[in-house]
Amino acid sequence: MAIELPDDKPLVAPGEAAKPEDSMRLIAQGGTAVTNAVKVTGKEKFEFMVLYCLRLLNQAPKGEICGFYQTDFDDCDEHTMRVIQKLIGRSGFICSDFIDPNTKKYNGFWAWRKKDPAAAAPAPAAGNPPPQSPPQPPKIREF
């Protein structure tokens, strides 16, 4: 069983995803790694990067992948990018490293919204019951 550290706990309710207006709360609750990254990067710059990621993710249709690269931000280093990736991952999104296949160097991350298991199967339209079984072929009468 994996040990869950306080800095690894989800920051949103299960099945939910953070919105841009949640960015300040996420940063405040992010833990020691986020606090240290804010000190190094600068508060305004770090807040901008988190807000940028959340805005793009919330504009994307569910399931669409967004890419966030170090080159998207001025003077962003790998450590800061990984802290933001972890914060976004704890905010109701799935994240994956983007590593350059040629140089094997970390360049950023991809993120997308987690699929809601309850929304996976759409409800039948009102008045239309769900199909029970395929219709039977008509029986041919013999004369």
CA distance 127 to 125: 6
Average pLDDT, integer, range 8-32: 85
Overall average pLDDT of the 24-42 stretch: 92
Q: Are 107 and 70 in contact (CB under 8 A)?
A: yes
What is the pLDDT averaged over residues 116-130? 56
3-state secondary structure of 127: coil
What band does 3 get if pLDDT is binned at 50, 70 and 90? very low
Dist CA 69 CA 141 (whole Å) = 70
Least confident of 19-28, 67-76, 119-128: 119-128
Answering whether pTM is above 0.75, one says: no
pLDDT-derived band at 56, boundaries 50, 70, 90:
very high
Asked whether residue 130 carries a pLDDT value surpassing 80, the answer given is no
Mean pLDDT across the stretch 70-84?
92
pLDDT above 50 (res 91): yes
The whole-chain average pLDDT of the chain stands at 82
Q: Looking at residue 37, what is its pLDDT?
A: 93
HEC readout, 14-73: CCCCCCHHHHHHHHHHCCHHHHHHHHHHCHHHHHHHHHHHHHHHHHCCCCCCEEEEHHHC
The pLDDT value recorded for residue 8 is 72
